[in-house]
A and B are shown apart, each in its own frame.
Chain A
Amino acid sequence: MTAPLLQVKNLTIDYIGDSTDFRAVDDVSFDVARGEVFGLAGESGCGKSTIAFAISRLHKPPALIRSGRILLEGRDVLDLNPAQLRDFRWREVAMVFQSAMNSLNPVLRVQEQFYDVLRTHQKMNRAQARERTAEMLRLVDIPPDRMKDYPHQFSGGMRQRIVIAICLALNPKIVVMDEPTTALDVVVQREILQRINELRRTFGFSVLFITHDLGLMVQFCDRIGIMLAGKLVEQNTAENIYGAPQHDYTRKLWASFPSLHGEPVMEKVSI
């Protein structure tokens, strides 16, 4: 039994208000093992994105971590000084945001944006960076000769894959994905997640996957945590979250998805 890669212990995060504080994350604990895909599901405002930001300490005031610990390989992320933090971000924890495809710099060629990351973190020169860029683009099914193009020359799905490639360029130990495919259509979503799934089998990184789409989450994740109003109300394997949900809220979440092949819930009224 090896130690988990990421341990979140009794994490409590408040958003500081003028008179009262809003508790966004309330005493949440979970572990993510090496190579595991852990999912956090819940509605907007339940605190799942706040957790995602806190893991790489990207949360900004008025968010404040009241208590708890975030351990990556036993090291507390909350104790890192600014220099250690710079080194830690991207190299150990990489993040893909919901609007990631819009987070590429529109006035820089794709290869420049790779170079930026590779130079800062691995002191690569241009030739080495180009080689690494080509290798990463090939991994996400983008022809390497397109590295000289600008972001607007790619479709939304391709841009999202480029962001994922940049994230993986430094071989992070864990990738945090906050609704990475919500803005994309289902076919592109499937292609991207399938590829991430293959890559994590090859490279062994872990994924913290955040979405509100439970069906998708069950397909992709090994274990799932369900959040409600800042609390982790249920945590189980994907099979059990789907097959044997314990908490009422999990059942309610399932009931709110019309299923494609099940009986239509609504009575059909003919005219």
Chain B
Amino acid sequence: MSDPQTAILALDRVSKSFGTAPYKVNAAQSVSFELHAGRTLALVGESGSGKTTCARLVMREYMPSEGQLLFKGKPVSTDNAKALAAYRRSVQMIFQDPFSSLNPAHTIDYHLRRPLQLHRRDLRGKQIDAAVEELLSRVKLDPKIVARKHPHELSGGQRQRVNIARTLAVGAEVIVADEPTSMLDVSVRLGVLNLLNEMKRDMKLALLYITHDIATARYVAEDIVVMYAGQIVEWGDVNKVIDNPQHPYTRLLLSAVPDPEMRFDDPKAQLKAADVDEVRRLSAVPQDRIVAVEPGHFIRQIASGRAA
């Protein structure tokens, strides 16, 4: 990852903990990553690894316990309402559940018109109509049919497209997509991922793609960050990390991805419970040292007790 100055949004050694000792949970420990225009960063890890905490930190739903967020190179100020509004406009989220993230009482037209009215004060009357139409066409929905409908009349994939259009309506520069396809049917997942990729390319969006499915991460992302127990354990270019994983946790994660080439009865496919526990235990130990594997590919120092 390159110079933080060119990043749209950067997390600089951000930590977030919940509760107080002895029940303190460190959901994110000294997490740093950068989001660049026109690039996707995939954040992968198991449930409870701190992925969603990172998303919420980026969305400023959580305030960092330590460290800071840099937006276009400057710390995000908390006391300047105007700057905060600009931040909230620029950083938008797509949620996992397309069935609960649209208001069932309103039409699709309303869902897109409201953000335009609030955030695009320069648009008047007919211009808003045109903008709604353009947004829907952009996400490959027919405005004539879809605009009048209510969310319950659309499929999950269509609703997720409306959610994408909504983030575009306000002129987002950063999109945080938290498992955007995990609740969709397999046959429409690729369509939504392709759409996100297209948006990223055409509109120079920075995308934070959160998932536990490392195969789709390779499909959409240029960079990848692997998290475990609140720490980033391995990061870098997505192809380098997936083809040459160095951290034992990344290896474990990759070895567990369903692979139709390998049957469960095959002894090579067996994960040993003791090994898995050992990897988990060692990966959870907080470590400060960072090791460069190759240019653009880093791992966090592995706790001793096992050779790297």
Residues of A contacting B219 in the complex (Cβ-Cβ under 8 angstroms): 258, 264-266
CB contact between B218 and one of A187, A238, A258 (< 8 Å): that residue: A258
Say yes or no for A188: interface residue by CB 8 A criterion: yes
Cβ-based interface call for A60 (8 A)? no
Q: Is B186 an interface residue (CB 8 A)?
A: yes
> In the assembled complex, how far is the CB of residue B242 from the closest CB belonging to chain A, in whole angstroms?
7
* Interface size in chain B (residues, C-beta < 8 A): 44
A212 neighbours in B (Cβ, 8 Å): 185-186
Stretch at the interface among B110-118, B142-150, B252-260: B252-260
Size of A's binding interface in residues, CB under 8 A: 39
Q: A186-B256, A197-B264, A252-B187 are in contact. Are A219 and B216 (CB under 8 A)?
A: no
Task: Give CA–CA (A149, B276) in the complex, Å.
Answer: 24
- Cβ contacts under 8 Å, B253 to chain A: 186-187
| Closest Cβ neighbor of A258 among chain B residues | B219
Interchain CB contact (< 8 A) of A185 among B47, B185, B194, B264: B47
With A186-B256, A190-B271 already in contact, the answer to whether A271 and B38 are too (CB < 8 A) is yes
Give bound CA distance, A264 to B254, whole Å: 16
Query: Can you list, as one digit per residue, whether each of A213-230 has a CB less than 8 Å from chain B (1) or not (0)?
Result: 111101110000000000
At the interface, yes or no: A253 with Cβ under 8 Å from chain B? yes
Instruction: Tell me whether B190 is interfacial, beta carbon within 8 Å.
Output: yes
B residues less than 8 Å from A127 (CB atoms): none
List 24 A-B residue pairs with CB atoms under 8 Å apart, sorted by A's residue number: A185-B47, A186-B213, A186-B257, A187-B256, A187-B276, A188-B46, A190-B256, A197-B264, A212-B185, A214-B186, A214-B260, A218-B263, A219-B259, A219-B263, A252-B187, A258-B190, A258-B193, A258-B215, A260-B218, A260-B257, A261-B243, A264-B218, A268-B222, A269-B201
Top 7 A-B residue pairs of the complex, sorted by shortest distance between their CB atoms: A215-B258, A185-B46, A258-B219, A216-B258, A218-B260, A190-B256, A186-B256
Interface residues of chain A, those whose CB is within 8 Å of chain B, are 43-44, 141, 156, 184-191, 193-194, 197, 212-216, 218-220, 238, 242, 252-253, 256-261, 264-266, 268-269, 271
